[in-house]
C-alpha cells in the first residue's frame, strides 16, 4: 500500500507529515499547494484541447487516457511521475473537495491500493 499523510495547521492549511514514496508526495503537494478550485483541474482533465498544465509545484500532462503528474522543481535527473487514469484524477479531486476542502478534518491519509486512491480523514 502506498500513502501520504497530511495534517492541518492552526491556519487551516494542510502540510506534509509522511509519505511512502515520491509519487505519493507529488500527489500530496499537488492537492495541498495547487488545488484551490478542483473544478478547474477537472475541466482541464476533461478538455480535449489542452494536453499540458502547470501549477505552483506540479507539472501535468495527458497521455491517452492518463494524467501524468511530476514535481515541477525535481532535482532528479529523470523526474518521478505519478500516472493515473483520467477517471482516477477526476475522482480524487472530487473526493478532495467533498471530504477535505469542505470539512477541514485534522488529518488526511490518501492511500493507493488495488488500483484505487482512497481518502480517509480523522478529526
Q: What is the mean pLDDT of residues 9-27?
A: 93
User: For position 11, what pLDDT does the model report?
Assistant: 87
How confident is the model over 14-36, as a mean pLDDT? 95
What pLDDT, in 10s, does the model give residues 60-103?
A: 999 999 999 999 999 999 999 999 999 999 999 999 999 999 99
Question: What distance in Å separates the CA atoms of residue 105 and residue 120, rounded to the nearest whole number?
Answer: 10
pLDDT of 120 reads 97
Residue 37 is classified by DSSP as S
Q: Per-residue pLDDT tens for 36-65?
A: 999 999 999 999 899 999 999 999 999 999
Amino acid at each position: 500500500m502506498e500513502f501520504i499523510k497530511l495534517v492541518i495547521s492552526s491556519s487551516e492549511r494542510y502540510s506534509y507529515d509522511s509519505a511512502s514514496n515520491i509519487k505519493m508526495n507529488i500527489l500530496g503537494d499537488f492537492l495541498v499547494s495547487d488545488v484551490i478550485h478542483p473544478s478547474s483541474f477537472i475541466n482541464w482533465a476533461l478538455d480535449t484541447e489542452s494536453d499540458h498544465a502547470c501549477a505552483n509545484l506540479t507539472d501535468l500532462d495527458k497521455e491517452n487516457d492518463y494524467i501524468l503528474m511530476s514535481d515541477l522543481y525535481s532535482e532528479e535527473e529523470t523526474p518521478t511521475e505519478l500516472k493515473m487514469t483520467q477517471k482516477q484524477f477526476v475522482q480524487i479531486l472530487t473526493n478532495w473537495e467533498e471530504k477535505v476542502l469542505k470539512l477541514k478534518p485534522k488529518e488526511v491519509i490518501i492511500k493507493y491500493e488495488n488500483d484505487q486512491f482512497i481518502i480517509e480523514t480523522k478529526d
